[in-house]
Structure 1
């Protein structure tokens, strides 16, 4: 679990150090935007941006019941972040599994990707798709019921 937070914490520490230099020299107006930039980068690369992860077994079970795709991801992955941001609100309709939290998920991804932990790996109807286009993933979702 801590592994997912290493990059965000490093970004916060580095950002604090970078912003401290102009702040100490009396240029607070230059320090604030730097600190804000690093805080935003840390937030984007943290698990907080992604929907709540579930275990691989639970995701497979739910996917069999509702037909929704399973997304295997990890924090700090730019391709996972791209998929998450491009899906927008539709991201919550997928089953997200963090491979750094679930060894069975990491094993499933390695099996699908010739031994590599390449993410995002999206499983639709039992077939894995490595780093698919977000528009294609959105197309795999059943239409939303109209309220």
Structure 2
């Protein structure tokens, strides 16, 4: 659990330290601008941006029933964040599996990526797509309505 929150926590702490140093040197306006930027970066790199993760087995079961894609991701991954933000509200229709929280999900990703935990990996109809184009994923989510 700590592993998931460590990167955003470090970003927030570093931003706070720099803003405090700026304020101490007599630049409160600069600190007032700098701190919200780092807080925003901390939120964006946190798991809060992603839909609630489910287990790999539950995601595959649900995907088999309704044909929606399963997205394997991990916090702090810029490519995962890019995919999530580009999908917008439609991204909530996919099944998201955090490989840092689900060992079976991490194993599934390693199995299709030659032992690497390359994310985002999207599973759809038994096929794996590594770092797919967000437009392609959006089309699949729209067609599984």
Fold match (TM-score > 0.5): yes
Higher mean C-alpha deviation, range 136-145 or range 7-16: 136-145
Shift of 1:5: 0.6
Answer yes or no: is the 8 Å Cα contact 2:66–2:144 preserved in 1.
Answer: no
Q: Find the aligned partners of 1:19 and 1:43 in 2 and give their Cα distance.
A: 17
Which residue number corresponds to residue 120 of structure 2? 120
Which residue number corresponds to residue 107 of structure 2? 107
Q: Find the aligned partners of 1:22 and 1:29 in 2 and give their Cα distance.
A: 9
Q: Partner of 2:96: helix, strand, or coil?
A: strand
Q: Find the aligned partners of 1:112 and 1:4 in 2 and give their Cα distance.
A: 23
Q: Find the aligned partners of 2:142 and 2:11 in 1 and give their Cα distance.
A: 38
Shift of 1:24: 1.0
Which residue number corresponds to residue 33 of structure 2? 33
Q: Partner of 2:141: helix, strand, or coil?
A: coil
Q: Find the aligned partners of 1:131 and 1:62 in 2 and give their Cα distance.
A: 22
Name the Cα RMSD after superposition: 1.1
Q: Find the aligned partners of 1:32 and 1:119 in 2 and give their Cα distance.
A: 35
Structure 1 portions without partners, runs of 5+: none
Which residue number corresponds to residue 96 of structure 2? 96
Which residue number corresponds to residue 129 of structure 1? 129
Could you report, residue by residue, the CA deviation over 1:94-132 in whole angstroms, capped at 9, with x for unpaired residues? 000000000000000000100000000000101000000
- What is the TM-score with the length of structure 2 in the denominator? 0.97
Answer yes or no: is the 8 Å Cα contact 2:4–2:75 preserved in 1.
Answer: yes
Structure 2 portions without partners, runs of 5+: none
Which residue number corresponds to residue 48 of structure 1? 48
- What is the TM-score with the length of structure 1 in the denominator? 0.95
